[in-house]
Amino acid sequence: MTSSFSIPDLGLGTFRLTGGTVIDSVRNALELGYRAIDTAQIYGNEADIGQAIADSGVAREQLFLTTKIWTENLGRAQLLPSLRESLARLRTGQVDLTLIHWPSPGGAVPLTETLDALMQARELGLTRAIGISNFPVALQQQAIDAVGAQHIATNQIELHPRLHNPAVVAHARAHGIRITSYMTLGYGQALQEPMLQAIAQARGASVAQVTLAWALARGFAVIPSSTQRPHLAGNLAAQELRLSAGEVAQIDAMDRGQRLVDPEGLAPQWD
C-alpha cells in the first residue's frame, strides 16, 4: 500500500442486490458519478457488477473496487484462488481493496494465515490494499500485531446513528486505520428518527443525506446502497452537506448500541 492510497469517502454498496437489480444500480450510479463500488464474494453479484462496469464505458483506472473474502476461503490454500475467481467475475486483473469479510468462525483459520495470504495477494498485484471487516478491538489488535497497522487500509463495520461502535473506532483511529461504515442508514430506520427529520427539514435536505453527512463529518467512509436513481443521486450529494458541530453532537448522542447485523455462528465477541 503506497502513501497515495486512500479510500473514497462515498461509494456504492451492493449488499442484497443481484441480477438486473444490481446491474441497474451500478449503471445508474456510474452515470451519476459514483466511482467506488463495494461487493463481496458471498453477495453473489460480482459477475453482474463486472458486466455493469464493462457496459458503462467507464475506464477501470477511474474506479475503486472493493471485494471481501468469505469465511470458507480464508485458508492459505483457498484465498488466492478465490480472489482470482472474484477478479474474473469482476472482469479485472486487480481490485483496489480486499477485506476479510468476517473473522474466521471460532478462529478455525488463524488470522495470521489469512493476513499472510492477503499480503501475498497484494504482492502479486491482485489487490492494491487489504483490510478487515466486522473486527472488534481484540481482533483488530491481532491484525495489527500480525502485519502492522500501516498495511490495514480499513475496518468496515456496522455503524449508524443508533450504533457508534466507539471502542473499535477509537482503537482504529489510534492506529491510523480508517473506519468504513456499512448500514449507515440502519436498514432505513434512521429515516424515521424525529431528530434527524428535524435537522433535515431545517437544512432542506433528506434524512438520508443528513445521516450520511454525519458519518462523513466523523471521518468515516460510507457505502450506502439504493436501487432508485433519485436516492442514488441524493446519497452522492450528501458529500456537499456540512453539518454544524452542534448537529453532529446531537446525532452523536443517539447511540444506543443497537446492533442490526449479528449473524449466529459468524459474529465475533463484540465490544
132-187 per-position pLDDT tens digit: 999 999 999 999 999 999 999 999 999 999 999 999 999 999 999 999 999 999 99
CA-based end-to-end distance of the chain: 29
Please answer whether residues 80 and 126 qualify as being in contact, where contact means their C-beta atoms are separated by less than 8 angstroms: yes
Is the per-residue pLDDT at 4 higher than 80?
A: no
Please answer whether residues 260 and 158 qualify as being in contact, where contact means their C-beta atoms are separated by less than 8 angstroms: yes
Is the per-residue pLDDT at 215 higher than 60?
A: yes
Strand, coil or helix: 110: coil
pTM: 0.97
pLDDT confidence of residue 5: 84
pLDDT confidence of residue 2: 42
Would you call 43 a catalytic residue per the annotation?
A: yes
Strand, coil or helix: 139: helix
Q: What residue type is assigned to position 232 of the chain?
A: L
Place of cell 458519518: 215
Q: 34, 43, 182, 187: which is the annotated catalytic residue? A: 43
List of domains in the chain: 12-189+219-225 (3.20.20.100)
Q: pLDDT: is 4 or 266 the higher one?
A: 266
Radius of gyration of the chain (CA): 18
